[in-house]
Structure 1
Amino acid sequence: MVSLMIPLLCWTLCISSVSAEDEPKVTAKPGQDVILPCRSAENKPVIAVEWRRPDLGSQYVLLYRDEQLDPENQHPSYQNRVNLQDRQMKDGDVSLVLKDVATNDTGRYECRVQNEGSLDTKLISTVQLEVLPPDQKNFTAEPGATVILPCRTSDQKPIAAVDWTRRDLGKKYILSFRDGQFDFEDQHPSYKNRVALHDGHMKDGDVSLVLKNLTTNDNGTYECLVQNEGSGDRKLISTINLQVVSPGKKDGGSKDGSGGVTVGLIVGLIVGLIVCLVVAGILFLMYKKQSACFRKKTPDPVDDL
């Protein structure tokens, strides 16, 4: 019995490894539209399609049945963003179109199909979607200056909420705008009366942050998150690394200036050593010259008779 189980176990592991390797993987950048492929091999007509993400629980990414999309149990973050590539599902094509992807869309997607004459849906394929984080921008400014940290959403829908955060600040916001007004209750104290939106009307999706009277405490990585109307989640739009440094430290010196002091000290020591060697050489030559002159002027002693 044991001898039969070992080959069976090895076969199961082999099948699992092959299926994992064959699992399609789609990579995208924020704001792009993607197609997650899925095709049913059954010759019978498709009467229902389910797209799910296991980490979202019982809610669907997309549910298509009775020849129409069913939004009743759809996860809010996917509303008005998903569709079938071919509503006619020719040749069993039930691929998913996902628009305006965000980092929150990263995950494993399952495609299930119910064919005519079948009572249940069957898992046809799984697709791994990875949405890369936005490219990080670097900004350098001097203490006391005012900077504008850029952020713009490409979604055409009205903006319901904007949050600017720094992960090292915990749950406190740098700036939070929702329900048509600023939320000062959860704002970090160090940013009170120092921040604003570059465009209060947020035209063309501009939600850039104005930060005034900079200090070195403002150093950090800033994240811009936006929630559009009809969406259940905020999307990470932009990340910016801000460094506030004094003018004399922009040449790569250390923050406390110890790098410049160390270099100056080394150079001073070298110059001082060279001067000391030169002076010592001159004194030595003078000593030899004076010794020679003294020997010439001093008469030789007379021997006693």
Structure 2
Amino acid sequence: MVSLMVTLFWTLCISSVSAEDEAKVTAKPGEDVILPCRSAENKPVIVVQWRRPDLGSQYVLLYRDNRLDPGNQYPSYRNWVSLQDRQMKDGDVSLVLKDVATTDAGRYQCRVQNEGSFERKLISTVQLEVLPPDEKNITAKPGENVTLPCRAAGSTAVIAVEWRRADLGSGYVLWYRDGQINPGNQNLSYQNRVDLLDRQMKDRDVSLVLKNLMTNDTGLYQCLVQNERSSDKKLISIVQLNVLPKGGEDGGNRKAGDQDGSVGIIVVLISVVLAAAVLGVLLLICRKKQACFRKETSDPPVHL
């Protein structure tokens, strides 16, 4: 009984310490984030290691001998992570993660080796949550021009923009790079109908302009951005475009009203015809009865 109480006591202590040491950080796709970590010891820090347990033995960042060591670094973090202060003043070994993507979400562990020690101690755990891409709904009419909004976050320069629809297969809606639109693998229905709202991409605005809308333009559009020094594109925005049928909602209502009016007129005409037919039959029956009555009363009685 005593041993069970001791075990429970230490479990509660360890869990409370872990809860205090664990921080939570939330970011949007494309933003730069700082994962906090600070060594409490007075001795200088000589090695800093950031890891994600779900990535196996490869690390997020390893800093030693006053430089970053990329030897066993996970590929997607190369050139995208650094220390907030390489001088590590006051034991600050916080991690800077640039241009985050949804795949960067996870639990990060900060380990530190101080001068005179041979052990890398776990001193902080940070849970990073990356919000899903923005989703918007836009409704327009055939023949109109429409703008699908998309804005890249963070501070890294944008070098390429891709707009695509998942239902179109490999062909993209727009691919913009090196100051021009590349029509190489563009879907034929979008050629000469799409452009960026601002090819200079001021304030990282990469919104799409779609001209002369057609009903088959309805679909789910994805905005992907490739930043400087990055080898892949990251999804940052989703737009659902709905193009109304020709005639729009008002035209459809008018058409329905016309149909209702026609049906009403037809019902009235059928009722009139049926009433006239019934009246004619009744008149015919009455005339026949009157004729019979006159025939019966015209002959004198037999006894006379």
Which TM-score tier does this pair reach, normalised by the shorter chain?
0.5 to 0.7
1:88 aligns with 2:89: yes
Secondary structure of the structure 2 residue equivalent to 1:199: coil
In the TM superposition, 1:279-298 aligns within 5 A as none
1:148 aligns with 2:147: yes
- Give the alignment's TM-score, normalised by structure 1: 0.66
Deviates more, 1:131-140 or 1:72-81: 72-81
Give the letter aligned to residue 87 of structure 1.
M
Distance 2:221 2:106 in 1: 24
Structure 2: which 5+ residue stretches go unaligned?
272-304
Distance 2:181 2:77 in 1: 23
Distance 1:115 1:125 in 2: 15
Q: 1:275–1:71: structure 2 CA closer, same or farther, 3 Å change rule?
A: farther
In the TM superposition, 1:1-305 aligns within 5 A as 18=15, 22=19, 23-40=22-39, 45-54=44-53, 59-66=58-65, 68-70=66-68, 72-73=70-71, 74=73, 75-77=75-77, 79=79, 81-84=81-84, 87-90=88-91, 93-246=92-245, 248-250=247-249, 261=256
Q: 1:209–1:183: structure 2 CA closer, same or farther, 3 Å change rule?
A: same
Q: Deviations over 1:16-57 (max 9, x none)?
A: x959x9354322223544332334566654321111234556
Is the Cα–Cα contact under 8 Å of residues 31 and 154 in structure 2 kept in the other structure?
no
Q: 1:225–1:275: structure 2 CA closer, same or farther, 3 Å change rule?
A: same
Q: 1:274–1:45: structure 2 CA closer, same or farther, 3 Å change rule?
A: farther
Q: 1:107–1:266: structure 2 CA closer, same or farther, 3 Å change rule?
A: farther
Is the Cα–Cα contact under 8 Å of residues 34 and 98 in structure 1 kept in the other structure?
yes
Q: 1:43–1:276: structure 2 CA closer, same or farther, 3 Å change rule?
A: farther
Is the Cα–Cα contact under 8 Å of residues 77 and 231 in structure 1 kept in the other structure?
no
Q: Deviations over 1:249-278 (max 9, x none)?
A: 447x7xxx8xx84x887898899999999x
Is the Cα–Cα contact under 8 Å of residues 81 and 100 in structure 1 kept in the other structure?
no
Whose radius of gyration is greater, 1 or 2? 2
Distance 2:122 2:184 in 1: 47
Is the Cα–Cα contact under 8 Å of residues 139 and 243 in structure 2 kept in the other structure?
yes
Give the letter aligned to residue 50 of structure 1.
Q
Distance 1:158 1:36 in 2: 22
Distance 2:180 2:69 in 1: 30
Secondary structure of the structure 1 residue equivalent to 2:167: helix
Q: 1:206–1:35: structure 2 CA closer, same or farther, 3 Å change rule?
A: closer
Distance 2:107 2:165 in 1: 28
Q: 1:178–1:130: structure 2 CA closer, same or farther, 3 Å change rule?
A: same
Q: 1:165–1:37: structure 2 CA closer, same or farther, 3 Å change rule?
A: same
Secondary structure of the structure 1 residue equivalent to 2:100: coil
Secondary structure of the structure 2 residue equivalent to 1:110: strand
Note the C-alpha offset of 1:242: 0.9
Q: 1:77–1:241: structure 2 CA closer, same or farther, 3 Å change rule?
A: farther
Is the Cα–Cα contact under 8 Å of residues 216 and 244 in structure 1 kept in the other structure?
yes
Is the Cα–Cα contact under 8 Å of residues 225 and 238 in structure 1 kept in the other structure?
yes
Q: 1:81–1:180: structure 2 CA closer, same or farther, 3 Å change rule?
A: farther
Q: Deviations over 1:185-240 (max 9, x none)?
A: 33223322322223333344232222122222211221211112122332333222
Q: Considering only aligned residues, what root-mean-square deviation do their CA atoms show, in Å?
A: 4.5
